[in-house]
Amino acid sequence: MKRNILASVLIIVLIGIVVYTNFPGLFNQADNSGPNEFNVTGDTSVDGEYITAPNLEILKEGMTAPDIVLENLQGEELNVKNIESNFVFVNFWATWCQPCLKEMPDLQKIEQEYNDIVQVVAVNATNVESRHKNDVVKDYITDGGYDFTVLLDKEGKIYEQYSIINLPTTFIVRQSDQQIVKRINGMMTYEQMEQYVKELQTK
């Protein structure tokens, strides 16, 4: 009886060795993750509704800001590179993003208080707005009494070029050389904005 059991165990072990040697992919398959697989379950650091594919290059401080040429709420095309200001706060937002809306009054205030050095450009992720696209954005800006520049990213191309991970996201761009001097993922308070502006005054 014992001899039969030992023989059976030996056969199973030998079969296992043969399979592992000739088909190693069966054992490694569970550990192989493709470049587009990205688990964000339970990630409380993300303040947005959707995520940029992780295999895209993330724009960081020191890099050159991609050109932004989009229409404003009046249907006029604007090139952000041509804005006459020392620095531009390029803010990506949407009307369904509550942290974005909470941040808006402070963006208005920072531009009013420091208009000699900073201008705000709010780039709306228009392609993911829920209804009537342009109208919902224009209504929100008008009702809020905001007068900073608002641009409409209707196709989402600028959103992708700036490798947005979550909304809101803000880039502080130095206009003289189009260099990104600060990237802020998530909502800012007015105190944080003001601190960034004071740091800019030393650059």
Phi–psi pair at 122, nearest 5 degrees: -95, 110
Mark out the alpha helices in 40-156 (DSSP H runs): 98-113, 134-144
pLDDT interval class at 1 (50, 70, 90): low
pLDDT of residue 69 exceeding 80, the answer is yes
Q: Kindly report, residue by residue over 78-105, the tens digit of the pLDDT.
A: 999 999 999 999 999 999 999 999 999 9
Both structure tokens of 27: 């054992």
164-177 mean pLDDT: 96
Do 117 and 197 contact (CB within 8 A), yes or no? yes
Model pLDDT, residue 44: 39
pLDDT the model gives residue 5: 55
Task: Tell me the one-letter amino acid at 187.
Answer: M
Cα angle value 143/71/54 (rounded, 5°):
95
Q: What CA–CA distance (Å, rounded) separates 4 from 101?
A: 74
The mean pLDDT of the chain is: 81
57 pLDDT band, cuts 50/70/90, is confident
- Could you tell me which residue, 12 or 6, shows the higher pLDDT? 12
Q: What pLDDT is attached to residue 30?
A: 34
pLDDT at 15: 57
Amino acid identity, position 27: F
Q: Model pTM?
A: 0.74
Mean pLDDT for the stretch of residues 105-112: 98
For range 30-40, the mean pLDDT: 31
Residue 27's pLDDT band (cuts 50, 70, 90)? very low
Strand partners, 71: 77, 152
Q: Which of 72, 95, 52 is nearest to 153 (CA)?
A: 72
Q: Is 192 helix (H, G, I), strand (E, B) or coil?
A: helix
Counts of helices then strands in the chain (DSSP H, E): 6, 7
Res. 26: pLDDT tops 50:
no
**Secondary structure of residue 85 in the 3-state scheme:** coil
